[in-house]
Each structure stands twice: as C-alpha cells, then as structure tokens.
C-alpha cells in the first residue's frame, strides 16, 4: 500500500493546473446511460473513482474510448472520453461494484428512466456519515417509480415510464438532485424540484443534459423545472474545473507561504471559501485564466467558518481549512453542518502538534507556533489531503498512510506540488 512522504518547510511558488472536477465528471458519465448515442466528455480527470465508474458503466454495456494525447497537452492530465450506451445489457448494479463508491448508486435514475427498471445495491463510500439514500428513493417515488428494498438491493420499476410531478427535498442533497434531474429528463410531463442543490456541478450536468436535448431550467437555483422529452441524443460537453482542488491548493499556499497561480479554474466557483482565505490575511487575486494565491511574510489570522450547501462554505474544504487554521494566530471555530462524522482528521492533525478540541459538530482550533512531522493515517478523501497540507508546513518529515483515498480525488498531487517547490514523494511499501 502506497505512502506519501513529505518534508515540510518549503514555500510554494509557480503554477498549478486545476483538473476537471470529480464531482462533476461522475454524474456526467452516468448520464451517458440516458441515450443510445455517444456522449463525449472533455476534461475528465485521471482518478481512481473515474476508473471505477468506467468499470461500473461497462457492466451495463457502456462502451468507451479515450482520445490520445494532443500537442501542447501535458502527459497524464485530463482526457476526452467517449461513452456509448447503445445497448443496455443489464439493469443490475451489483454489490461488489457499488459498495466501493457511493456515486455509483446514481445509475438508478437513468436506468429506470430509460429501461423502466433498475436493481442497484445500496452504496458504500467514505466513512464520513450515514448519507442515507432516503431522499433518492422518496424523490423517485414521487415520479411514479415503484421501489422495494430487499437483500441489500433497491429494486426500482417504472413500467409506464417516469411521470411528471413535484418533489421538495426536506434537506439539500447534491446526489439526489443529480439523480432526479437525470430521471426526469425522460419523464412523461413536467417535473419540478424544490429545495434543489445549487452547486456548480448541478449546473454543469443540466447544461450537458440540455445539450443532449433535455429541457431543464432553473439549475443553479433552488427550484428546477424539467420538461420531459421522449429521447436524448449524444453531445459534446466539458467537465468544469474542480473547485475543491482549487480551494485545496489555495489553502496549501496560504499555509506554507509563497505565490502560486491556479490555472484553468475560476474564483467564481468558490467565492465563500476564497473570502475565508482572504480573511485569514492571504492575497487572493482572480486572473483571466484562474486565481493567484500569495502570502509572503505575514502570519495567518484566525477565521470562523460553518459549512453549508452552495453558495456556502463547502464541506469538502472543511478539513483543509482546519489544517490551515492550526497555524493561525488566535482561536478559530469550525462548524460542520452537512455530515455528522467528518472530524476524523482531528486526531491525525493532533499527531502533528495541532491543538483542536471537539464539542458536538464544532471544532475549536487554537493556533500553534509550529507543527512537527509524524506518521499519520488518512481516513477519507478530504481528510487525507488536509494532512498533506499540514505536513507541507510542518518541521521535518511526515509520512501519510492510506493514500489510496487521495487517488480517488486528486490528480497527480505529488507532481503538482513538487513543481512548486514542495518536497513530496510517493513510496511503495
């Protein structure tokens, strides 16, 4: 199992290209199940979760091909992939595939919409909370889908197709918004979704579905209307930049000091998070191609944050921001409102010398003069990269174990950091 070894203390200077967003790529890939034409996706990142979903889609009969490297394109970076679901050979998504990645459960929407049925295993994924599928199931039921749960599988049937209707989420869910939007694209009639997720990834999916012939309005607001159509065609669509990767590297530069331009991204995708970085005393400057982050000399100031659905502070940046606050002057409070078990990185940050106490869903972080390298263990995707950020600013050597979590969501992390002056290497043990 691989490890990452980091020797801290180096400032980061240079350029980091931001990859396509995993959280956008996955639902876009799944939407290929809605048509028998080819869906071409540009800017798809090289990630373990993407490769896993390709295998899951292949199980259903989806063919895929990948464009070769193009002139001026860096080796190993984001790709163009063509997905063709001409013949769905099975509507069953088995446990051994779905249990390894929660987002694979989302195939239930397109499958039941196009084929009239789906049998999908209850999902797995990161251990950061229960994240039940109740909202998915309740929403599909509202659209005329009969659902039974038996033997760990969700059986969904809609012999008369997806029906028009109205569903109001009792709480915001990005995944369930994706699923209902995909299913409703082929509905008999109009579907209204209230209290929908407003994340940029939802907008990216709606834009893709509309390019395929869907009729979706309101994406990016809390009220989405989908006028169902009989069939969808193929399309060509680009995966939007990864705002979580953007924020992660912004916080890495903020914590270590230096001057880095994050390219192929947009500050508008994460304004709340960047405002919090600015409040900590870091210079954040939008550019034509991305955003420039610099901190040269001044210390970090303590800043309180509370995670919220978009446009609030992203839960997927909470661990990284906490790492940054471990070296801030003063005391900050970080409150997690999305997932009930997303503070597992606290114990590992403490191994590096952080002073963090927990009370319910709030972490109180007292800034310390310095962190020291240690052996640490990654517990989930975002927690793992928070340990990398902290290690970059720590004195001495840190070894991060279980880095397969990192490979699920960060494309070529060691290479991007090393190019900016960090001392980072992957170890095979």
Catalytic residues: 126
Would you say 114 is a known binding-site residue?
no
Would you say 171 is a known binding-site residue?
yes
Would you say 173 is a known binding-site residue?
yes
Would you say 132 is a known binding-site residue?
yes
Which are the contacts of 109, defined by CB distance < 8 A and separation ≥ 6?
Answer: 30, 136, 140, 178, 179, 180, 181, 182, 183
Would you say 327 is a known binding-site residue?
no
Would you say 133 is a known binding-site residue?
yes
SS3 content of the chain, % helix, strand, coil (to 5): 35, 30, 35
429 within 8 A of 363, measured Cβ to Cβ: no
Q: How far is CA 109 from the centre of its chain?
A: 19
Q: Minimal CA–CA distance to 136: which of 114, 161, 104?
A: 104
Which are the contacts of 248, defined by CB distance < 8 A and separation ≥ 6?
Answer: 317, 320, 385, 389, 410
Q: Minimal CA–CA distance to 409: which of 93, 18, 45, 42?
A: 45
Would you say 174 is a known binding-site residue?
yes
Would you say 316 is a known binding-site residue?
yes
262 within 8 A of 285, measured Cβ to Cβ: no
Would you say 50 is a known binding-site residue?
no
Would you say 215 is a known binding-site residue?
no
**Residue 303 to residue 235: CA distance in whole angstroms:** 44
Would you say 270 is a known binding-site residue?
no
Would you say 172 is a known binding-site residue?
yes
Q: Annotated binding site for UDP-N-acetyl-alpha-D-glucosamine, which residues?
A: 102, 131-135, 171-174, 316, 338
Q: Annotated binding site for phosphoenolpyruvate, which residues?
A: 22-23
Q: Annotated binding site, which residues?
A: 22-23, 102, 131-135, 171-174, 316, 338
């Amino acid at each position: 199992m691989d490890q990452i070894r980091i020797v801290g203390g180096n400032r980061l200077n240079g350029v980091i290209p931001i990859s396509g967003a995993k959280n956008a790529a996955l639902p876009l890939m799944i939407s290929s199940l809605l048509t028998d034409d080819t869906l071409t996706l540009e800017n798809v990142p090289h990630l373990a979760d993407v490769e896993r979903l390709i295998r899951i889609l292949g199980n259903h009969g989806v063919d895929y091909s990948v464009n070769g490297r193009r002139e001026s394109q860096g080796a190993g970076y984001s790709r163009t992939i063509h997905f063709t679901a001409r013949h769905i050979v099975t509507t069953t998504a088995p446990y051994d595939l779905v249990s390894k990645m929660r987002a694979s459960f989302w195939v239930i929407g397109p499958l039941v919409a196009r084929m009239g049925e789906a049998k999908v295993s209850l999902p797995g994924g990161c251990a950061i909370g229960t994240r039940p599928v109740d909202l998915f199931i309740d929403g599909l039921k509202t659209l005329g889908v009969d659902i039974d749960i038996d033997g760990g599988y969700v059986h969904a049937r809609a012999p008369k197709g997806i029906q028009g209707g109205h569903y109001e989420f009792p709480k915001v869910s990005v995944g369930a918004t994706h699923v209902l939007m995909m299913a409703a694209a082929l509905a008999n009639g109009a579907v209204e979704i209230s209290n929908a997720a407003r994340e940029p990834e939802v907008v990216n999916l709606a834009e893709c579905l509309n390019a395929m012939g869907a009729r979706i309005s309101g994406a990016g607001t809390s009220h989405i209307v989908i006028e169902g159509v009989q069939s969808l065609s193929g399309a060509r669509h680009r995966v939007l930049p990864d705002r979580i990767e953007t924020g992660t590297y912004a916080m890495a530069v903020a914590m270590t000091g230096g001057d880095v331009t994050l390219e192929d991204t947009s500050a508008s995708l994460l304004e709340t998070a960047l405002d919090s970085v600015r409040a900590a005393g870091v210079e954040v400057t939008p550019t034509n191609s991305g955003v420039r982050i610099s901190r040269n000399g001044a210390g970090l100031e303590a800043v309180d944050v509370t995670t919220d659905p978009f446009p609030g502070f992203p839960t997927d940046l909470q661990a990284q921001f906490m790492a940054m606050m471990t070296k801030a002057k003063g005391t900050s409070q970080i409150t997690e409102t999305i997932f009930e078990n997303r503070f597992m990185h606290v114990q590992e940050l403490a191994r590096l010398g952080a002073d963090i106490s927990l009370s319910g869903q709030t972490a109180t972080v007292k800034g310390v003069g310095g962190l020291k390298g240690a052996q640490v263990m990654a517990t989930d995707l975002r927690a793992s990269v928070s340990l990398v950020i902290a290690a970059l600013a720590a004195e001495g050597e840190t070894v991060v174990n279980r880095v397969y979590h990192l490979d699920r969501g960060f494309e070529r992390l060691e290479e991007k950091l090393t190019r900016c002056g960090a001392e980072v290497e992957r170890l095979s043990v």
